[in-house]
Chain A
Amino acid sequence: MIRVLSVEDDPDLQRLLALALAGDEFEGHFAFTGPEGFEAAVSLKPDIIVCDLMLPGYGGQELIRRLKGEASTRAIPVVVVTAYYDAATLVEKEIRKLAVIEYVRKPVRCADLVKLLRRISAQ
Chain B
Amino acid sequence: MAPLQRVNVLMIDDDPEALMLMSLRLNEACGPDLRFALEGALSLKKGLLLVAAEEFDVILLDLHLPDSAGLATVAAARRHSGGTPIVVMTGYEDEAMGLEAIGMGAQDYLIKDRINMTLLSRAIRYAIERATLLRELRELEQLRAEVRERRKTDEFKDRLLGAVSHELRSPLTVAQAAVTNLVDGMAGPLSPVQAELLEMAQRNLDRLGRLVLNALDFSRLDSGRASLEFRRVDAGRVIAEMASDWRRSLTKTLKVEVEVEDKLPTVRADIDHFAQMLSNLLDNAGRHAAGKVRIAARAEGGMVRITVEDDGPGVPLDRSEEIFTPYTQLARGKGAGYKGTGLGLAICREIAELSSGRVWVEENGGPGARFHFELPLWSSSAAPAGK
- Residues of chain A whose beta carbon lies under 8 Å from any beta carbon of chain B: 10, 12-13, 16, 19-20, 83-86, 88-89, 92-93, 105-111
Contacts and interface: CB of A to CB of B under 8 A. Distances in A.
Interface of B: 169-170, 173-174, 176-178, 180-181, 184-186, 229, 231-234, 237-238, 241, 271-272, 274-275
The DSSP consensus for interface residues of chain A is: helix
B233 to A, nearest CB: 7
A16 B178 contact: yes
A111 B176 CA distance: 15
Contacts of B177: 13, 16, 106-109
Contacts of A16: 174, 177-178, 181
A10 B181 CA distance: 17
A107 B274 CA distance: 19
Contacts of A83: 169-170, 173
Contacts of B184: 109-111
Mostly, the B contact residues are helix
A80 B241 CA distance: 17
Contacts of B169: 83-84
3 closest Cβ pairs, A-B complex = A107-B177, A107-B176, A106-B173
A85 B174 contact: no
B233 A89 contact: yes
Given A19-B186, A107-B173, A110-B186, 10 more contacts: A12-B178, A16-B174, A83-B169, A84-B275, A88-B234, A92-B231, A92-B232, A106-B176, A109-B180, A111-B185
A85 B178 contact: no
Contact of A13 (B174, B229, B234, B271): B174
A95 to B, nearest CB: 13
